[in-house]
Every structure is written in structure tokens, then in C-alpha cells.
Structure 1
Amino acid sequence: MSKKFLAGVLCMLLTVSLFVGCGSKDDSTPKENDSKTEGVDEKVTLNIWGMGEEAKLLSEIENDFETKNPNIDMVVQAIPWDQAHDKLLMAVASGKGPDVVQLGTTWIPEFAEAGVLKDLTQYIDEYPNLDPANYFDSSVGTTKFDGKYIGVPWYVDTRAMFYRTDLLEEVGYPEGPNTWDELKDAATKLSARGDEYYGISFDLADQVFSIPYGWQNGSEIIKDGKPLFNEPEYVEAVKYLNSFFEEGLAPIQDDMDLIQAFKEGIKPMFVSGPWMINIIKNQVPEIDGKWAVRTVPAKENNTSSVGGSNLVIFDNTKNEEAALKFISYMTEVETQVKWFDVAKCLPARTEAWNDDSLVSDPFFSAFGEQMKNSKIAPFIPEWESIAMEVKKSLEEISIGGADIETELDELNKTVEKMLDK
């Protein structure tokens, strides 16, 4: 375990009490088997930590998995996302963590650097579902660290553009804007409908909000350990985004519900993830047929960001074989399609995208198309902290009116210090 990581864990142990999640079978801490090794006939208790609503839905596939693996008793703890990171730190420090963990993709480097995740490379031949060739290249990028393959993509997400087809048709873009110039033009025309109307809504609370625009303008964000936030490509991207706020094309701060504003046409465009599809369908069915999803507009490219979750095995597991069987099961094409039906999480297996449930759905298939041109945020342990600094700088610019170049110079200096530690 790295000294930096261990110090953080010990500090956390002194200041934070252990959080307890709710489980589908057991709400207590992970159970331990009587035997330290798995036998052919013995019953194995496989402790799985999942996050948020997805973990609660794992009960939907539990019976099928246990029928196919009668010697494995699957026990799931569902942990709220806002508690998960601290609880994982506690598990690492105590050495009594679960067998399998769902990890958000941006958390992988931190725990991989600590050396607590099992390298899965040696198991690929025996469990071919684990093979990185089965998954989107961008998603595979979140599973490799320091030459090791330490996680398997479970589900993916990316960001695409939601837009009101009827309103965009009125301003000349029935299929939505294809380029940055078209996006600006469409937003300008849409906001001209009246003072209460905007052209687009941007999510300043999203830590990675500006990063894809940097990529689209040719910025690499961080290269060879050096931040590039004050280089022309990223500066130009921030100036472009800020122009929407300066010209009143996008709200800087407001308390209006996005879905209702989308329904009323007040915010006729926004960029978000696939979870918004069912939210719109369920909350505002009256606009069915008047909205669509498409890939994001392009400058030099139309790269978007990749998110989702991976399944990893804690290195100190006593149930390695059972853990591998579970991950292999969860990444079978059939299971991936079933999981999409249950949780509406986008499959990480590329082959699963051939299923009619995805091919025939224009909303979700748009995300599949965007996944072909998406990438991960800088895959470094410091990224979560860096992203918070980026978010604060953008707020200083858009809300506080800070000079863009001065603020980004300061941001770059701050990130340099973070990376030099």
C-alpha cells in the first residue's frame, strides 16, 4: 500500500465512523467462511459491495446466478454513493473488505495505486468474458493501471445531447446541431424567443463539465504529468462555454427543475447521461415525439466523457474462484442485456449492443454511437481532487466574473502543485 494512500486511510479512521449499508440478505459486515480456501462442495459466502440503486437491483439476477452456481451464496451490501468512498477506505485499512466491489471508474487509480485490487490478467483464458477485447476501448482504459488489469467493465455511460426536436426544427436544426458553430447559432435563435427562454442548459455542478469541450478543441488536459489548463486549446474552450453565459444563452444559476424547463421549452437543449431518458419519459410523457438524443456537437472532434462502473476483486479475498465466477456471469452478453432491461444501465460488452432492445431504441442507441467517440478523464489518483479545482475555477469565471486567462493560470499552478506532491 502506498504511504500517501495509507496516511489518508489512517486519517479517515480517526475522523469518520464506519458506515453500514443495507444488504439484500445481510446488513452486517462481510461474513467470513469457516474455511480459508474454497472447496469443491463447500458453500461459499460471496460478499459483494454495490453502490446506489444498481446494488439494490442485483436481487433481480441473484436467483439465476445462484442456480447456476449452487455452491455460492451471494450477499450484497447496497451502499449509497456518498458513503461508498469512505467505507472502502475503512475496508482497506482493516483488511476485512468484501470479495467483489463495484467501483466508479474515477476511483480505480486511487485503489489500484494502493495495491488492494487483484490483477485479473492471469484469469482471462479460464474466464474469457473478462477479456478486454469484449469491451469499448475507452471503457477498458479505466481497468488498467501500472501494467495490471485490475477491473472488468460492468456498465458504461457517456454524455450525449438531449434536444427538443420541434423547437430545434423551428430554428433550422431538426436533427440538432452538428458543430460548435451550429450549437451557438441554434442557442442564439432559441434564446431570442423571449427573456424567459434560453437556448441550452449547462451543468456547472458536474465536475467534468468542461473537460469534453477541451478535448473537442484539441486539448489533452494533462500530458506527461503536466497540466494544460492555461494552454490555448483549453482556454479557447472555456471562452466558448462562457460566452453562452455572458450572452444570456444559458442560465448561470437558477432553481428551475431541468425536466420541467425542458418540457416548457425554456431549456430546449442539455447534455447529460442515459439515466435522463426514463426520467423524461416518466415525468413529462406529454412531450413524447417532441424530443430526441444525439451525439454531442463537434469542433475538431465530438469526443465525450466515459463513466460507469467496473467490478473489481479485493486482493485479500478468500473466495477468489467465486468472485471470478460472479464477474464472469455479470459480463456475459445475456446477463448484460438482462441488466439493461432491469436497471437501464448501458452494457459494457460491445456484443450486447447488437440486441434488438438497444438497436431499436433511438434514445439509447444514440449513446451507443457516442461511446464510439468517448474517452476517460485523466486516469491518475489525483483526478478527483483536480476535478474539484476545475469546477471551482469555472464557477469563479461564470458566476464570479473572473478573468478567464488569469483564473486558468492560477488553476494550472494549483494542479501543478497537486501533481508534484
Structure 2
Amino acid sequence: MKKKRLLPLILTAMISLTACSGNQEANTTAAEGGTKDGEKIELTYWYAWGDKIGENNENLVKQFNESQDKIQVTAEFQGTYDELHAKTQAAVAAKNPPEVTMNEISFIETFAKAGMTQDLTSFVEADPEINMDDFNPGLMGNSYVDGKLYGLPYLRSTPIMYVNKTIFEEAGIDLKSIVTWEDFTNAAKQLTTKDRVGISMPVDIWFFEAFLAQAGGQVINKKGTEFTFNKAAGVEALSLWKNMFEEGTLRIPGGEPKAAADQARQDFVNGKSAMYFSSTADLSFMLQLAEENSFELDTAMMPKHKEQKVPTGGANLVMSAGLDEEKQQAAWEFIKFMTAPEQAAYASEYTGYLPSRISAQETETIQNLYKEKPQFKVAVDQLQYGNARPMVSGYPEVVKIVIEEIQKMILDPSIEPKAALDAAAERANAVIK
């Protein structure tokens, strides 16, 4: 989270830049023609996250390079989303950005309005091969800024509930019975023992966005001018967390967000918690960990309350602004390849991320996957309840503020949920004003 402190300073420097005026359609695409002297067009692609996600990125880039002989892409790992974004902003300021990069969806508007990313609308309009109707509509809410397309859905996700099926069976609990908040809290009580809690969960804005929406609330008003997460719905959501924490059915690891998330996962893998919230993107890795630790893993949708809602997450692929026409065309060909149905199916099977294309869900690869490992289908079924994430400028800083105030509440029992959220909202509204 410390990396996010770079955002306001770098964006101030970048705000004077303007996005490239748009694509002028070339006589031949980069993939067809290459450079005039026959040399390959060199592109750099920056991505976030390692393990299975990193392997997937490297594998797909290799497939692209082998699929044609006009463009050569070099994939480079840049750490977490926060680290990737900070490095990208610095590279843009130094006038040496990667041609293509992943952009976590809540950053799409920030990067676009700072002139760091290219409007892709004209590329889509000029390319008969791309079918925008094939992208899952539940994933498109964070792709447009002021009616213009700035990113194509790539590795996209929703949070889901992971459960230790072995523990559930020993406790006599049917996972299908957990539908509502009440079901969830009752199960957490049943699953809690002297050596184990019902669920281990870090303070994560994504999970708060989920519970807030389920209680009927919104993070920010429709005009994007005032944060509203401190209204009744937000208080109800945070009160649920506080009550479960105080009764001992919920463990909330402390510390820096990534370390807290790692600890929550370790609790789950070690059998110290029976449930765990995380991204569907972790599914392949979690199945591997479950096998290594000799328990059976299952998945379920997030529990519902007044509404059944879940935020979408993950990243879109974006093109850096200011590229020459030749590199624009090459970057577009690469983005198009990485988000094509076949590659979307491959990435989903390899990692657990959602297949971003409707046609990808219908491929033999995905259909066989759902038969063999039904845990993968949960996130796709849940996507019908998906919400776009807030993209208002300054939201990355607001995320840090909300996490800080909730963590204060956890550490100090005298702080009530309403007071914690009011403090967060006051600070957050100052950021966007």
C-alpha cells in the first residue's frame, strides 16, 4: 500500500499530458507487414503477480511470439498491482513506458485522464476481427471512461469463498446451506474450535465493497462527488465483521495488507480456519496447496444479504499513449491476441481467472474443466451479480484510508463501526475534493 503514496505526485506531473489523438489506420497491420526494413517490432509488456498468474503471462507471450514473425514481445514481471502502477507511472514520466501493461480496473480512469493510456475506440472500430459483444458484459463496467474504451478485459476476477471441505464434512455442514449472512455467521460459529476459527480474513477493500453492496449500499454517489460507504449499509457490513471478530469466529491478521492476506491464506492452508475469502484467480494455486496439505478444497459464492452482489476485479490490458503508429498497430495486435477467446480459455484454466469472452466459456477446454473441477464454475455463475469497481480519481488513496480506519477499529474495541467509517469518509472526501 505504501506505493500508492506516489500516485498524487506522479499524476500531478502527468496531468498535463494528453492522450494520443487516436489511431490512423495503417495500410497493413503490424502483424502482417512488420517494419519497413523487415526487422521485428519490439514491444515490452509489464504484468503483475507471480506463481501461476506469472507463468500464464509468460506462456501466452511465448505463444504470441511463436504465432507470427513480425512482432517480438518481452514480458517483464513488476510485482503487485501497486508496484506495477508505481513503476508504470515513473516510466511514463521518464518517457520510457512499456507499450502494453496490465491496469487494475480501479485505476483505469486515473491513468486515462492523466493521459497515460491510449483510447482504443478507433482500433475497435477499424478492426472487423474484434467482436466487443463477445466480452462478458459483467466485466465491461471498468473498461470505459467518458464513453471511450481504454482497456480490454484480460485477467478478471471476483472474490469467492474457499472452504476446507474436509473440515466441513467432519462438522456435518453442507456447503450448499450457506447462502445468506446468517447462514455464514452460523457456520462460522459451528466451525470454530479451540484451535480453529470459522474464517480468517484480512481487512481488504474488495471484501468490504462486497459486503457493502450486499447490504444495499454504494461506495460513492452516482455523480462521483461524495463517498457514501459510511451510511447505514456500510455500518451494517462493518458491524458484522466486528461482531464476528469479537466473538472469536473471525480472525483478522494485522500488518501491511499483503502480509495480512498471506497470513489469512496460511491460516486456511494449515487448517487454522475453515473458510477463506480470496480471488478466483487463486483457484489453481489453492487447489495445489490443498493437495499438498491433504485436504479437499471447495468453493462457493459470497453470502448474500439484502442483495446478492459481488465486485469484479483483476486487470484490463491497456496501451501506453504516445506510441508511433507502427508500435500502436503492433501493440493492438498483441492486446487482441491476449484477449482472444482461445487465450481467455487458456488463462482461465491455468489460473482460475474468469473467461472474459462469452465464446471462451463455450470452448471444449472450459466445458471439460467445469466437469472435472466444478470449483472453477462458481465465479462464472456469480458474475451475473457482478458490480464495477469505483474508478474516481484518488480512489487508490481512498482504499488505503478505509483500510487504515477499519484496522484502527479492530485494534481499539472502543471504536464503533459508524465512527470508523465516518472518519474514513471525511478523509476520503477530502482526497477527491
TM-score range, shorter chain: 0.7 to 0.9
Query: Contact 1:160–1:295 at 8 Å: present in 2 too?
Result: yes
Aligned residue in 2 for 1:245: 245
In 2: Cα distance, 1:217 partner to 1:235 partner = 9
> Across the two proteins, how many residue pairs are aligned to each other?
391
Q: 1:297 aligns with which of 303, 313, 316?
A: 303
Unaligned runs of 5+ in 1: 14-32
CA distance in structure 2 between the partners assigned to 1:380 and 1:300 by the alignment: 26
Aligned to 2:340: 332
Tell me: CA distance 1:129–1:239, structure 2 relative to 1, closer, same or farther (3 Å). farther
Q: Is the 8 A contact 2:156 2:315 kept in 1?
A: yes
Identity of aligned residues (%): 23
Could you tell me which residue of structure 2 aligns to residue 198 of structure 1? 197
Please list the CA deviations of residues 359-386 of structure 1 after superposition, one character each: whole Å capped at 9, or x if unmatched: 3221111111122212232121211111
Q: Is contact 2:116-2:320 (8 Å) kept? A: yes
- State whether structure 2 residue 147 is matched by structure 1 residue 147: yes
Deviation at residue 98 of structure 1 after TM alignment: 2.2
Which residue does 1:226 correspond to in 2?
A: 226
CA distance in 1, matches of 2:356, 2:37: 31
Secondary structure of the residue aligned to 2:195 is: coil
From 387, 405, 409, the counterpart of 2:418:
405
- Structure 2 CA distance for partners of 1:406 and 1:64, relative to 1, 3 Å: closer
1:388 maps to which residue? 400
Distance 1:199 1:156, change over 3 A: same
Q: How much has 1:345 moved relative to structure 2?
A: 3.7
For residues 358 and 372 of structure 1, what CA distance do their matches in structure 2 show?
20
Q: Could you tell me how far 1:217 is from its partner in structure 2?
A: 0.3
What CA deviation, in whole Å up to 9, does each residue of 1:190-235 have, x standing for no partner? 22xx33332222222x232311100000001201221113211111
Alpha-carbon spacing, 1:46–1:356, altered in 2? closer, same or farther (3 Å): same
Q: CA 1:259/1:150 → structure 2, altered by over 3 Å: closer, same or farther? A: closer
SS of the residue 1:52 aligns to: coil
Q: TM-score, normalised by structure 1?
A: 0.83
Q: Distance in 1 between matches of 2:216 and 2:59?
A: 43
Structure 1 residue identity aligned to 2:10 = V
Q: Could you list the per-position Cα deviations for residues 149-205 of structure 1 after superposition, in whole angstroms to 9, with x for gaps in the alignment?
A: 0111111111111123344353543425100111111112222xx33332222222x
Separation (CA, whole Å) in 1 of partners of 2:389 and 2:417: 22
2:40 matched residue in structure 1: 43
Paired residues of 1:129 and 1:328 also in contact (CA < 8 A): no
- Cα distance, 1:415–1:264 mapped onto 2, change above 3 Å: closer
**Does the 8 A contact of 1:102 with 1:312 survive in 2?**
yes
How does 1:332-351 map onto structure 2 within 5 Å? 332-351=340-359
Q: Which has the higher helix share?
A: 2
SS class of match (2:43): strand
Give the corresponding residue for 1:16: none
Change in CA separation of 1:287 and 1:66 when aligned onto 2, cut-off 3 Å: closer
Amino acid at match of 2:422: D
Query: Which amino acid in 2 is paired with 1:297?
Result: P
Could you tell me which amino acid in structure 2 is paired with residue 226 of structure 1?
A: E
Q: Report the equivalent of 1:52.
A: 49
Deviation at 1:128, TM superposition (A): 5.1
Task: Give SS of 1:47's match.
Answer: strand
Matches within 5 A, 1:92-107: 92-107=92-107
Residue equivalent to 2:77 = 78
Aligned residue identity for 2:206: V
How far apart are residue 57 of structure 1 and its match?
Answer: 4.5
CA distance in 2 between counterparts of 1:349 and 1:209 reads 25
